[in-house]
Structure 1
Amino acid sequence: MTDAATLARAHALADEEDRRAGVVTREARADELAGALARFDATWGVGRTVDLASLKAIAHAGNTVLVAVPAADRADAAGELADPADPPLGAALGFLGWDGGLHVHSHMNAVDPVARGRGIGVALKLRQRAICLDHGVEEIRWTYDPLIRRNARMNLVRLGAEVAAYHPDFYGELRDAISGGDRSDRFEVRWRLTSPRATRALERMPQPVWHAEGGLPLVADFEAVRSAAPETAEALRDASREAFAALADGRLRPELDANGDYAFTADDPDRAPVDVDASSTSEA
């Protein structure tokens, strides 16, 4: 069970991220679920997410259905929407899983396009983390498209999650507002919520330089390439599948290097940022 000091720090970090983003993140009230669904639908397309009845059942069972709403003028205000049915600035959905150990699977994290770049997605993740730790859940997992650099940076560097598996065509043919006709290849990440790597990332401490045994360069904005030049995007997807074959036996894991490209490494995921060579130290 997580100790009291760690729990308090988890909520403090979530509150700090809320202030940076100018929002309040919290669990959605029952009258806000339609608005949360509208935020999901606006991101992926109507009928491409969940229906309202399912969302109500998921929330009723105690899963993490969260909203990010504008911060009020008062620092102690809970954060309100003018109309509970309005789409919030952000919404997230996660549910319990137990394959390979108890965890929350964070399935959706959506932010209003006009509010992107403020850190709202990160704020929702940190609130989800704090709530999970409150309930004794110490791991969150989710999937992301490995070719989208900004998501890789958020997941691996800003949050300190790590890639656990590569799933080619994980969802099959999505045809949603984000993926279009692209193949749904995904990295599955596991966020060990109190691990050394997660703690360093969340406290904005230096990260390791990974010892690379291969890798894959990423384009700055794969989504823009996919929209403007589908054939180029398809070629990049093909190249990634060839590169990720090196991960099949589980010995290597992808991390991001200083350039924002993948470095395939066998390093301990919790490795400290600086390796100390004991043989180089001396005493006067």
Structure 2
Amino acid sequence: MIEPRRSAPAPAWPAAVELADAAAARAGVVTRSAVGAELGRVLARFEATWGAGRGPDRSMLQAIAHAGNTILVAVPAAEIGTDVSVLGATLGFLGWEKGLHLHSHMNAVDPSVRGRGIGVALKLRQRALCLERGIDEMRWTYDPLIRRNAHMNLVRLGAEVAAFRPDFYGRLDDRISGADRSDRFEVRWRLDSPRTRRALAGRPQPDWSSHGGLALVADFEQVRADAPAEAARLRERAHESFAALDAARLRPEVGATGDYVFTNDDPDREAS
């Protein structure tokens, strides 16, 4: 039998558990590790979101879970037992490029219950589990043109953009992206940083100094479905803007209008 080796929990861990519990309660769910037959339901949730064959198969999920990585589910708080509905699921695995971290790769929520905060509740459960195990950073990627995701990641959670990754996954041809280019922002979430504590406490962001920016359409996914040529134009314009950020030593933040502001301010600064 392999004996586990674990780092000491971070001091922020108990408060992180309370925060995750509270977020789940507000969303009307329980968030926890997937068990037994729920791995099949996790796979079904991923396939319902991205399409059949667009994620790991059942055996890969089993191996990832067995290795101790986070495969979490959000299930209705009112349901008990083993035959429960999986309303949301998330998958994360450890990485060590530029420091040990959890890479949170997939996060899917049933469309019928979106807007309840289930995605945030799953991220907060991942955060609590990381801090319990002495891991103080999570990373993931998101499409920078999806306005609601930008707000959730940078404002509500307090993650920050670490890099622009042009066409990171190649052509996906999945249910969400279709033939669109897979440009992504990679974000890092320093789990107990001043920035994260500010965001999770609901304190206001600072008024970021601006060295340019980019306006976001309200619903890029709808534009992509209804007007692909316009979506491609918006993608190209954004690509040019984001590709210049590193050379200028700027990063994007979400400003008061919900659009991107390019700034070199300290990411941990508080509002005046």
Question: What is the TM-score when the length of structure 2 is the normalising length?
Answer: 0.95
What is the one-letter code of the residue matched to 1:154? M
On the 8 A contact 1:69/1:80 being kept in 2, the answer is no
Report the secondary structure of 1:267's partner residue.
Answer: coil
Aligned partner of 1:117 in structure 2 is: 115
On the 8 A contact 2:109/2:119 being kept in 1, the answer is yes
Which of residues 249, 252, 255 is equivalent to 2:250? Answer: 252
Q: 1:17: how far off?
A: 0.4
Q: Deviations over 1:167-219 (max 9, x none)?
A: 11000010000000100000000000000000010111111110010010000
Q: 1:249: how far off?
A: 2.1
On the 8 A contact 2:101/2:137 being kept in 1, the answer is yes
Q: 1:24: how far off?
A: 0.4
Whether 1:7 and 2:13 are equivalent positions in the alignment is: yes
Q: 1:248: how far off?
A: 2.6
Aligned partner of 2:159 in structure 1 is: 161
Counterparts in 2 of 1:8-157, with a 5 A limit?
8-72=14-78, 80=80, 83=83, 88-157=86-155
Report the secondary structure of 1:182's partner residue.
Answer: coil
Report the secondary structure of 2:89's partner residue.
Answer: strand
Structure 2 residue ranges without an equivalent (≥5): 1-7
What is the one-letter code of the residue matched to 2:14? A
Report the secondary structure of 2:161's partner residue.
Answer: strand
Q: C-alpha distance in 2, partners of 1:184/1:20? A: 33
Distance 1:267 1:2, change over 3 A: farther
Distance 1:49 1:208, change over 3 A: same
Q: 1:56: how far off?
A: 0.3
What is the one-letter code of the residue matched to 2:253? E
Whether 1:270 and 2:268 are equivalent positions in the alignment is: yes
Q: Deviations over 1:95-123 (max 9, x none)?
A: 00000000000000000000000000000
Which of residues 164, 184, 195 is equivalent to 2:182? Answer: 184
Report the secondary structure of 1:39's partner residue.
Answer: helix
Report the secondary structure of 2:59's partner residue.
Answer: helix
Q: 1:151: how far off?
A: 0.2
Aligned partner of 2:216 in structure 1 is: 218
**Bigger radius of gyration:** 1
Q: 1:126: how far off?
A: 0.2
What is the one-letter code of the residue matched to 2:52? V
Report the secondary structure of 1:249's partner residue.
Answer: helix
Q: C-alpha distance in 1, partners of 2:182/2:57? A: 22
On the 8 A contact 1:226/1:233 being kept in 2, the answer is yes
Q: C-alpha distance in 1, partners of 2:58/2:199? A: 35
Report the secondary structure of 2:247's partner residue.
Answer: coil
What is the one-letter code of the residue matched to 1:63? N
Q: C-alpha distance in 2, partners of 1:80/1:213? A: 52
Q: C-alpha distance in 1, partners of 2:76/2:80? A: 7
Q: C-alpha distance in 2, partners of 1:145/1:136? A: 29
Give the aligned CA root-mean-square deviation in angstroms.
Answer: 1.2
Report the secondary structure of 2:17's partner residue.
Answer: helix
Distance 1:250 1:59, change over 3 A: farther
Q: Deviations over 1:214-270 (max 9, x none)?
A: 010000000000001001100000110111132132610000001110000000110
Aligned partner of 2:239 in structure 1 is: 241
